[in-house]
Structure 1
Amino acid sequence: MSEYSAAGITVLEFDESVRRRPGMYFGADPHLATTVLTAIVIASLHPGPKVAPAGPPDVTAEILGDLAFSITDNWPTGPDGSVAGYHGSLLTSYRWVHAAAAAVSTHTTIETWHVGHALQQTLAGLRPTGPPRGLDGPDGTGTTLTYHLDPSSFTPSTLDSPMLDLHAEGCCDVPGRFRLRDSRP
């Protein structure tokens, strides 16, 4: 019998933990890419109270390729739109499911806007490739995240429509609006 001690414990950063065991975050599924997309749609439809939009959530998912998709919703990345996320990125802990998806992506682009001011940033995994850059933004508040899942972790051509049951029974008074676009050829 081996001795258990602190020497046998490895502390992992969040992104490394997700990459090593994605099933722990998204479930064990042969269609893991679809499971990741479904988890992100569910998280966008159920924001925490500190970042919830004034009205019901409005979410659009777009499948861009076999392992690429985007999510647009009507809430900011954090409660005040500040840059205080993972590794100094725009991706805050209020979007931890989104961060887990970024961790298993080759790159992720975040665009977030509030009252005409917008920021954009690209991540490699969960790490920023540079500081956020300012953009002219539309009115209102929202965020678009575009993910390119890492083909070394996913089977190509397994990205499909999210599972239809996006709400548990009695989960929401106002379930919000969800649209799906499939832009693949």
Structure 2
Amino acid sequence: MSEYTAAGITVLEFDESVRRRPGMYFGVDPHLATNVLTAVVIASLHPGPKVAPTGPPDVTAEILDDLAFSITDNWSTGPDGSTAGYHGSLLTSYRWVHAAAAAVSTHTTIETWHAGHALRQNLAGLRPTGPPHDLDAPRGTGTRLTYHLDPSHFTPSTLDIPTLDLHAEGCCDVPGQFRLRGSRTTTS
């Protein structure tokens, strides 16, 4: 019998854990890309109390391509808008499902705005490729994340419309709004 010791334990960083076992975060399914989209939509519709918008959640998802989608919601990335997120990024632990989606993406762009100030940052996986940059702020408060899922983890044709109920029974008093748009490019 082999002995179980601390030497046999490997501690993984969050992003490496997600990449090694995406099914733990998004379910084991041939439609894993759609499961990622669904999980991000559900997370945006159910923000934690520290970052919840003052009104009902307002979420728009857009399928951009076979393995690319964006999610826009009306809550900030964190309670103070700081860059105290994963690896110094704008993506804070308040958005851990969004971070898991970034971990299985080749690149992600996060844009967040509040009180007339807006920032954009690009990520490779979950790691920033550079510091956040200012951009023209839309009105109100919100965050847009654009994901380009890594084709080594996903079958391109599996990104489709979420078919699951996005709200569990009794999950919230005001379920908010959800819109799904498709602007997938087609080739002949």
Indicate whether the TM-score tops 0.5. Answer: yes
- The one-letter amino acid paired with 2:180 is L
Normalised by the length of structure 1, the TM-score is 0.98
Residues in 2 aligned to 1:168 and 1:81: alpha-carbon distance in whole angstroms = 29
Structure 1: 5+ residue runs without aligned partners? none
Tell me by how many angstroms 1:115 deviates: 1.7
Q: Does 1:178 align with 2:171?
A: no
- The one-letter amino acid paired with 1:4 is Y
Residues in 2 aligned to 1:163 and 1:93: alpha-carbon distance in whole angstroms = 27
- Which residue of structure 1 aligns with residue 34 of structure 2? 34
- Which residue of structure 2 aligns with residue 82 of structure 1? 82
- The one-letter amino acid paired with 2:16 is E
- Which residue of structure 2 aligns with residue 116 of structure 1? 116
- The one-letter amino acid paired with 2:64 is L
Tell me by how many angstroms 1:38 deviates: 0.2
Query: What percentage of aligned pairs have identical amino acids?
Result: 88
- The one-letter amino acid paired with 2:137 is G
Tell me by how many angstroms 1:77 deviates: 0.2
Tell me by how many angstroms 1:163 deviates: 2.4
Equivalent residue pairs, number: 185
- Which residue of structure 2 aligns with residue 107 of structure 1? 107
Tell me by how many angstroms 1:159 deviates: 0.1
Tell me by how many angstroms 1:162 deviates: 1.2
Residues in 1 aligned to 2:121 and 2:53: alpha-carbon distance in whole angstroms = 22
Stretches (4+) displaced over 3 A: none
- The one-letter amino acid paired with 2:115 is V
3-state SS of 1:157 partner: helix
More moved, 156-165 vs 67-76: 156-165
Residues in 2 aligned to 1:92 and 1:162: alpha-carbon distance in whole angstroms = 25
Residues in 1 aligned to 2:87 and 2:110: alpha-carbon distance in whole angstroms = 14
Tell me by how many angstroms 1:116 deviates: 1.6
Tell me by how many angstroms 1:72 deviates: 0.1
Can you list the C-alpha shifts for 1:45-66, whole angstroms capped at 9, x where unaligned? Answer: 0000000000000000000000
Note the 1:1-185 alignment, pairs <5 A. 1-184=1-184, 185=186
CA RMSD after TM alignment: 0.7
Structure 2: 5+ residue runs without aligned partners? none
Can you list the C-alpha shifts for 1:82-112, whole angstroms capped at 9, x where unaligned? Answer: 1110000000000000000000000000000
